[in-house]
Amino acid sequence: MRVGVLTGGGDCPGLNAVIRALTLALLQRVPGVQVLGIERGFLGLIEGHLRALDAATVRGLVDEGGTILGTHNRANPFDYQGRDASAEAMAVARREGLEALVAIGGDGTLTLAARFAALGLPVVGVPKTIDNDIEGNERSFGFDSAVAVVADALTRLRTTAASHRRVMVVETMGRDAGWIALEGGLAGGADAILIPERPWRLEALAAHLHQRMDAQGHALVCVAEGARLDDGDQHWQALPDGVARLGGVGQALVQALGARWPEVEVRATVLGHLQRGGSPTAFDRVLSTRFGVAAAEAVERGEFGHTVALQGDRCVLVPLSTVAGQNRRVPPNHELVRCAQALGALPG
């Protein structure tokens, strides 16, 4: 049996741990199996860049960040450089004798995986994203590592904020979901948390931060890149390649608060790709390992057209068709929302 594995979309801590666990579990459980790593996500499937993976290649990867296979977040085979290259990708899969494909990635990668499954390619998905926004999955690997970066940044900024009597704003990733800002803000003791699902009114936010400044002499704000004030829109940045991406809300808050509060210095820190890099936390190493083994078991049983997911602290299989194109956002009455409200960090 020949099994291909790819990592698509943005990188995150834990990808290599999944590759390791998947490869070792397949070699252990499926006699004669060959595992082929597909380089740079679906681009490698289009262009035919594959290489063999064995125990010696993957054994030391549990704590290594990034992905040894490389990744790509724009190589959509169904719309690649203005054309449909899915037939080319399927031809590569046939030429290489792939009897299964394990696609490790976020909602975009899993959506593409669902489309290849519909074309007849046996696919198993593994959910990956620091944003924790994959439908049907309670916890994605990479998320805990990103939250740890946010919490550490807030902890460090608290001392400099207190020293200078400043308001410090930390902008996190997360796209249209507020999980990173919410959990990172709670872990880092933020005084105000702004997430896409619960917009603040600017005047209410300013009044709240005034109270915190009066009480403790400084204030910390944790804001998701997709957040907005309830009287405004999300903030987008145009990149040199012409692509617009979410970002800039932290600096917009600096300007908005500074205009209403000139006597207080407001500074912003954008964490950006710091949240993606480095070694995974112990939690993410274990979760990645669980997902990799669960994917290997699905391949062994021939349960294709599904993605691994964590539900109730159990690894289960969810149909790719129910995940494709979906986005898991913070529910209005989630326990973390209630915690943040009880602490005054979210609007009621």
Positions annotated as catalytic residues are 131
Task: Work out whether strand 219-224 and strand 167-172 pair parallel, antiparallel, or are unpaired.
Answer: parallel
**Residue linked to tokens 């290997």:** 296
3-state secondary structure of 247: coil
**Residue linked to tokens 């990799």:** 292
Q: Which string of DSSP letters, residue by residue, matches 296-333?
A: HHHHHHT--SEEEEEETTEEEEEEHHHHTT------TT
A 10 A CB-CB count for 210 gives 15
**Rounded Cα–Cα distance for residues 39 and 31 (Å):** 25
3-state secondary structure of 220: strand
**CB-CB contact of 186 with 334 (8 Å):** no
**Rounded Cα–Cα distance for residues 68 and 16 (Å):** 7
